[in-house]
Amino acid sequence: MHAAAKTPHRRRPLIPARWAPYVFISPFFLLFAAFGLFPLLFSVALAFHQWDPVGGVWSMRWVGLDNFAYAIARDDWLRKAMFNTVWIALVSGLPQHLVALPLAWFLHRAFGRWRNAVVGAYFLPFITSTVAISLVFSSLFSKDFGLVNAAFSTLRQVPVLGWLMPGQAIDWSQPGYTKWMISAVVFWRYVGWNTVLYLSAIQTISPELLEAAEIDGASPRQRFLHIVLPLLRPMVFLAVTLSLIGNLQLFEEPFILTGGTGGIDQAGKTAAMHMYAVAFMDGDFGTASAVAWLLFLLIVGATAINKRLLGARA
Amino acid sequence: MNTTSPLPVASPPGAAPRGAAPARPRARRREGRGALVAGRVIVLAGAVVMLLPFWFMFVFATHSNSEILSMPPPLWFGSSLGDNLRELLARLPTFWQNLGWSFYVALATTLANLVFCSLAGHAFALLEFAGKERFYAAVMMTMLLPAFLFMVPTALTMSWLGWTNEERALIVPAACSALGIFLMRQYIEAAIPRDLVEAARLDGCSEFAIWWRVVLPLLGPALGTLALITFIGSWNNFISPLVVMRDMDRYTLPLALRSLQGSGQTPWGALCAGAAIAVLPLLVMFALASRRLIDGLTAGAVKH
Amino acid sequence: MRRRALLPLPLACLAARPALAATGRATLTVAAFPDLDRSARIAIESWAASHPQVDVRLTTRAFDDHHTAMTTAIATGANLPDVMAVDMDYLGKFTQAGGLEDLDAPPYDARAVAPRLARFTLGPATGLGGKLRVLPADIGPGALFYRADLLARAGLVEDDLTRDWASYVAAGVKLKQATGAYLCASAIDLKDILIRAGLADGEGVYFDAAGRPQVTSQRFVQAFTLARAARRAGIDARIAAWSSEWSEGFRRDRVATQMMGSWLAGHLKNWIAPAQSGLWRSAPLPAGVSASWGGSFWAIPVRAERKLLAWDFIRTLCLDRAQQLEAFRRLDAFPALLAAQQDDYVAQPIAYLGGQAARLQWRAASERVPALHVDRYDQVAKAIVEAELDQVLEHDKPIPQALADARAAIERRARRHRAPRAPLLEDRPCTPPPRPRIAAAR
């Protein structure tokens, strides 16, 4: 399809060119002013107040930096939660992309007609409801009857792989294993999403380019490493940024897998879960807002680093 | 502003000359068939693992509570589907209305996002104006705060506007998401050739016409991605409806399904049946969007 | 679309609307969670018949969602129901703040009807300012459910379990040796029971009346010691309650007893172990402890619109004998209303429990439960104490240190607990002007 129309009539544009940018972004900013700015300012203000919502809006009390001081210096559960969050973000995040990239490439070149069905299978976890997930995974990860442990025990029979398998049934609720369980579920949930993103990016690489490389004798691996990856860099940046933001705000999966408690030793409690607990259990919305802004700084820092590493070079 | 390492682009500059037919077919290095088959097996095995919990959800929808909460859980379909559906509809008489509302809200939100986010992305990517980067930073900031912090202010705002219990309270605030703008800006910066836009401007096209005629047609994959994210996000969202909706016949589906869980005996079979029905539109959405996303837009290759 | 401005509280107090609109139908909004919504539905059937001009709308939300939504509604004044359900787990948070109507004040005068309700419920029902803030609908008197057949196989009798805690643990060891079954699902259950032992009226489980944490008291030391002893003796199955393994544990004869509210009998019969009918029995809690699990309450938000209608509906829910019995029969909700507890239904044998007239036992148990004080930080304290118990059970942390750490953590988290603050508008009772009663007193 021709991208450019034939020469249009010369008539006065509907929106003068000078104003065009502002008109284009005005829907967002109107909506933001109405529905985004107020919550933003509210939560900034809240971070400096003490507020138990059950007392009504007027029961807020100014406490200055006390909430931040408490969160940084005296809240041991927050420190643990931050550690857990970063741990899970890395352990589930890295495989999400390291697996999704070659997977997308392989799906692109080796599956032909079945490609969409297979991608669909990988994408399903992304749209499965959390209710079903909680029910199913709690039974899959059961110590004595779960399929995961059953799979491990059958794999133990396999010669080489068997040496890597744990010696006995794993109690996944033990603090040493909780984070692994959560990371596995997060990986399961999002690897398909990343695969779809990368696959769509690969689609738009010129097929002639890849064919020419193939004809020149490049192996699939070489084509992947030297053509596909560099061209995919902007999409990788995008996908990793989204992953970072999502993983550092992780709430649903650890919440449902630990029954809302964060598990033994708070091993599965993420920062967002802790925030939620502080707000609704401790009845302390002020500290929860302060923690949210601290987490915000963390995410900004992480995305800045990401931009350095993967971002577009000017 | 990058022009050298584009996002999905039709033909990267400096690539092998197009249109030049290969001189003669050289011997290709044949990939071992074994490796290909092994790879396919691994990927398919992975796909089965991915499907497993999803599979269980459908299987559980056909079993009774005792059977579901037993070890090991049932692996194949049972016979209680009718009972579960009956119980679902008995406990949630507004189920079909909830389904309808979810559809309406998700569709409206998606359409609004497609339009507004591409407009905003166009502005950030292709236009220069005062305070651009500061605006963009403010936009990005909203993405980084957790949703539940918005609960109380949202409830307040909606009560001030009188939109409590109305669907527009769900659609309007989400009509132009920061994530969508981020996606659009990235994609437009990478995939829309600047010279095309310049050419159109020189031809006297208004900015709006450029958006409509030049940019939008090339945005296929990005629009597909955004549609998918927005639809799924809106479909699964329950926090906003929780604080805004008062009557059960105005609930969206996730909230309605959650309302089956309480201090008594949760009807897991009915819940899974409801969840299975709730996921079908998402499957359809994915099937539709994947054609744009994955089958790609090779037709969108811009041939000068 | 009418624009509604957010009314400041004092204005709202002054502008209390009449319970019945001058023209047309009135709407009463009731917010609850499962399964309490089912008893509300039963009440609506009878109440609506006698109030044809009122449209009752029942909103059900998931258990946690409901309390979150109610918190937000009270915080903002938006989307408030007229009648609000509150579960025991969340009770402290709601009653100790200023968002719920003072039911002692006229025109409610709940103190007059309080003697008709189970005595111990009035402790938790009392909130800010020492006033009744909620009314109880159902209770969960604690019982020890056990598998008579497994015990018999091990040569044990009920008394071995209930005499005292030492014999309880010894019985567990014997049971394990003889049948391979665990005595209890989790040692944490034992802690929950023992921290409630020996409390008097007005005391709190985690905090005393003045708000000081009690976790270093003898009660907690004994609770932790018993839990550890049970774990070391190997008599607990280390299964979390309500998980699939838990229900499966009962089915597969791996767990022989469970201490919980009386409503567990209904769950066992309906879905956990329907095949084991006749094998289970109910016994009083060991060592004469009296405790109650859960309980549902109804309240009226201060800024609700139709408070008098709401009160009338709540009277039906909590004080109407027929309603309480119907909920008892259909939903296994043990009534808080004493008159309902006297019905013949209570003396009927329960087939699932081998013909035992267990409800009599539960009624007797409910009479011995002390009227405890609930604190707004009870859930926080509970989470901290359980975290410390995990340390004791899993990592052998010394008990005195664990409890001292728990106390320090509680004081840190509930750090603004007793900070003096200026009296808020909410603290002043918001009394609507006197209105004629809508329905005759029952």
Instruction: Indicate yes or no: CB of B4 within 8 angstroms of CB of A313.
Output: yes
Instruction: Indicate yes or no: CB of B203 within 8 angstroms of CB of A34.
Output: no
pLDDT at C284 over 80: yes
Which sign does the torsion angle of CA B234, B58, B62, C330 carry?
negative
Over residues C321-341, mean pLDDT? 93
Could you count the other beta carbons within 10 Å of the beta carbon of residue C415?
16
User: Residue A291 corresponds to which amino acid?
Assistant: V
User: Residue C128 corresponds to which amino acid?
Assistant: L
Phi and psi, residue B174, nearest 5°: -100, 10
ipTM of the complex: 0.82
What three-state secondary structure class fits B50?
A: helix
Instruction: Indicate yes or no: CB of B247 within 8 angstroms of CB of C34.
Output: no
Count chain A–chain C contacts defined by CB atoms under 8 A: 88
- For chain C, say whether A162 makes contact (Cβ under 8 Å): no
CA dihedral A150, A152, A154, A156 (to 10 degrees): -150
Instruction: Count Cα atoms within 13 angstroms, Cβ side, for B270.
Output: 21
pLDDT of A259 reads 80
Question: What is the C-alpha to C-alpha distance for residues C399 and C220, in angstroms, rounded to an integer?
Answer: 9
pLDDT of B7 reads 38
- For chain A, say whether B38 makes contact (Cβ under 8 Å): no
Contact C194, C389 (CB under 8 A): no
Q: What is the largest CA-CA distance in chain A?
A: 78
Contact C407, C387 (CB under 8 A): no
Q: How far is CA C235 from CA B162, B278, C166, in A?
A: 58, 43, 13
Contact C146, C183 (CB under 8 A): no
- Return the closest-CA partner of residue C186 out of C167, C204, C166, C172: C172
pLDDT of C297 reads 96
Over residues C274-300, mean pLDDT? 93
Which residues of chain B from 150 to 189 reach within 8 Å of chain A, CB to CB? 150, 152-154, 156-157, 172-173, 175-176, 179, 181-183, 186, 189
Q: How far is CA B260 from CA B54, B92, B115, in A?
A: 20, 8, 36
Contacts of C277 in chain B (CB under 8 A): none
pLDDT of A136 reads 81
Count chain A–chain B contacts defined by CB atoms under 8 A: 341
pLDDT of C283 reads 95
Question: What is the C-alpha to C-alpha distance for residues C173 and C157, in angstroms, rounded to an integer?
Answer: 14
Q: How confident is the model at residue A310 (pLDDT cuts 50, 70, 90)?
A: confident
Contacts of A290 in chain B (CB under 8 A): none
Which sign does the torsion angle of CA A304, A310, A314, B1 carry?
negative
Task: Record the tokens describing residue A279, joined without a space.
Answer: 């707000």
Tell me the per-residue pLDDT of C121-148, one tens digit each, with 9 for 90 and over. Answer: 999 999 888 899 999 999 999 999 999 9
Contacts of A212 in chain B (CB under 8 A): 16, 22
Is C338 buried (19+), middle (13-18) or exposed (0-12) by CB count in 10 A? middle
Instruction: Indicate yes or no: CB of A145 within 8 angstroms of CB of C245.
Output: yes
pLDDT of C314 reads 95
pLDDT of C339 reads 93
Which of C38, C61, C86, C293 to probe by mutation at the B interface, max B CB count within 10 Å?
Answer: C61
- Stretch among A284-298, B262-276, C215-229 having the lowest mean pLDDT: B262-276
pLDDT of C4 reads 40
- For chain C, say whether A222 makes contact (Cβ under 8 Å): no
pLDDT at C426 over 50: no
Question: What is the C-alpha to C-alpha distance for residues B198 and C170, in angstroms, rounded to an integer?
Answer: 87
Which of C65, C83, C243, C253 to probe by mutation at the B interface, max B CB count within 10 Å?
Answer: C65
**Tens digit of each residue's pLDDT, chain B (304 residues):** 333 333 333 333 333 333 344 444 444 445 577 888 888 899 999 999 888 888 888 899 999 888 887 777 788 898 889 999 999 999 899 999 999 999 999 999 999 999 999 998 888 888 888 888 888 887 777 777 777 778 888 888 888 888 888 889 999 988 988 888 888 888 888 778 888 888 888 888 888 888 888 888 888 888 888 898 899 989 988 888 988 898 888 999 888 988 888 766 788 889 889 988 988 888 888 888 777 666 654 333 333 2
Eight-class DSSP state of A36: I
CB neighbour list of residue B41: distance below 8 Å, 6 or more residues apart: none
Eight-class DSSP state of A144: T
- Return the closest-CA partner of residue C140 out of C294, C270, C25: C294
Which sign does the torsion angle of CA B126, B127, B132, B136 carry?
negative
- For chain B, say whether C60 makes contact (Cβ under 8 Å): yes
Instruction: Indicate yes or no: CB of A231 within 8 angstroms of CB of B203.
Output: no
Burial profile B250-284: b = 16 or more Cβ within 10 angstroms, e = fewer: bbbbbbbbbbbbbbbbbbbbbbbbbbbbbbebbee
Tell me the per-residue pLDDT of C56-92, one tens digit each, with 9 for 90 and over. Answer: 999 999 998 899 999 999 988 888 999 999 999 999 9
Contacts of C7-11 spanning 24+ positions with Cβ under 8 A = C7/C77, C8/A58, C9/A56, C9/A58, C9/C77, C9/C302, C9/C303, C9/C425, C9/C426, C9/C430, C10/C425
Question: What is the C-alpha to C-alpha distance for residues B155 and B175, in angstroms, rounded to an integer?
Answer: 17
Which of C1, C33, C72 to probe by mutation at the B interface, max B CB count within 10 Å?
Answer: C72
Residue listed under structure tokens 């605006």:
B135
Average pLDDT taken over every residue of chain C: 86
Question: What is the C-alpha to C-alpha distance for residues B8 and C357, in angstroms, rounded to an integer?
Answer: 74
pLDDT of A17 reads 66
- For chain A, say whether C425 makes contact (Cβ under 8 Å): yes
Which of C36, C39, C56, C79 to probe by mutation at the B interface, max B CB count within 10 Å?
Answer: C79
Average pLDDT taken over every residue of chain A: 84
Q: Least CA distance to A3: which residue of chain B?
A: B214
Q: How confident is the model at residue C356 (pLDDT cuts 50, 70, 90)?
A: very high
Contacts of C167-176 spanning 24+ positions with Cβ under 8 A = C168/C286, C168/C287, C169/C226, C169/C229, C169/C230, C169/C233, C169/C235, C172/C230, C172/C233, C172/C235, C173/C233, C173/C234, C173/C235, C175/C150, C175/C151, C175/C235, C175/C256, C176/C234, C176/C235
Report the phi/psi class of residue A112: left, alpha or beta, with left for phi > 0 and alpha for psi in -120 to 50. left
Task: Record the tokens describing residue C387, joined without a space.
Answer: 């975290």
- Stretch among B3-12, B44-53, C155-164, C214-223 having the lowest mean pLDDT: B3-12
pLDDT at C420 over 50: no
Instruction: Indicate yes or no: CB of C60 within 8 angstroms of CB of B73.
Output: no
The fraction of chain A above a pLDDT of 70, given in percent, is 93
Q: How confident is the model at residue C43 (pLDDT cuts 50, 70, 90)?
A: very high
Could you count the other beta carbons within 10 Å of the beta carbon of residue A268?
26
Over residues C344-352, mean pLDDT? 93
Task: Record the tokens describing residue C207, joined without a space.
Answer: 């905090």
Instruction: Indicate yes or no: CB of B213 within 8 angstroms of CB of A4.
Output: yes
